[in-house]
C-alpha cells in the first residue's frame, strides 16, 4: 500500500484522542509546487498550509472515533489567518484541538507554528460520514478506506 500522494504531514508527534494532536510538516526544496509557486520566492502555498491543518485534524478525529467514519470532509474553514511564509528548509508544527463534536461534525481549532511564530491558523468544521450511508453497495469501500487510513496513521506515528 502506498502513501497518500498529497500528504501534508511528515509525522504525528502526539495524539490525545478526544483532545488534541501535534504533527510536523517540513518544506523540502524539491517539492513539485515550488517550481511554479513564486519561482523567485519559493514558499509553500497557503492552501497547502491549510491542508496540513485539515489533515492533522482528520487524524485526530480518526484516532478519537477509532476510524468509525471512512469520509472526513472540510465543511468550513473559518477565521483563516496566514501570518508567515513557509520556505524550503523550514518546519511547521501543527496542533489541532477539538472544540465540540457530534455524530456528523467536529469543530476544531488548528494552528501551524514556525518556531514561536504562528504561520497559519483556522477554525475548522469537519464532516463525518461513510460511503454506505448513501449506497449500501459501498460497504466494502468503507472498509478498504478505513484500513488504508489505519496503515497510513501507523506510518505517520513511526516516522
Catalytic residues: 37
- In the chain, DSSP finds a helix count (H) and a strand count (E) of 2, 6
Q: Cα 101 vs. chain centroid, distance in angstroms?
A: 17
Percent of the chain as helix, strand, coil, to the nearest 5 = 30, 35, 30
- Cα–Cα distances in angstroms (integers) from residue 53 to residues 97, 111, 142, 144, in the given order: 11, 7, 24, 24
Amino acid at each position: 500500500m502506498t502513501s497518500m500522494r498529497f500528504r501534508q504531514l511528515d509525522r504525528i508527534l502526539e495524539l490525545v484522542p478526544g483532545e488534541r494532536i501535534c504533527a510536523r510538516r517540513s518544506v523540502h526544496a524539491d517539492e513539485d509546487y515550488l517550481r511554479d509557486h513564486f519561482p523567485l520566492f519559493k514558499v509553500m502555498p497557503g492552501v497547502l498550509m491549510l491542508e496540513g491543518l485539515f489533515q492533522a485534524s482528520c487524524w485526530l478525529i480518526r484516532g478519537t472515533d477509532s476510524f468509525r467514519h471512512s469520509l472526513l470532509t472540510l465543511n468550513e474553514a473559518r477565521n483563516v489567518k496566514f501570518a508567515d511564509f513557509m520556505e524550503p528548509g523550514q518546519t511547521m508544527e501543527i496542533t489541532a484541538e477539538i472544540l465540540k463534536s457530534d455524530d456528523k461534525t467536529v469543530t476544531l481549532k488548528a494552528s501551524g507554528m514556525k518556531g514561536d511564530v504562528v504561520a497559519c491558523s483556522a477554525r475548522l468544521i469537519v464532516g463525518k460520514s461513510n460511503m454506505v450511508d448513501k449506497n449500501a453497495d459501498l460497504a466494502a469501500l468503507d472498509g478498504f478506506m478505513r484500513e488504508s487510513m489505519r496503515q497510513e496513521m501507523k506510518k505517520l506515528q513511526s516516522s
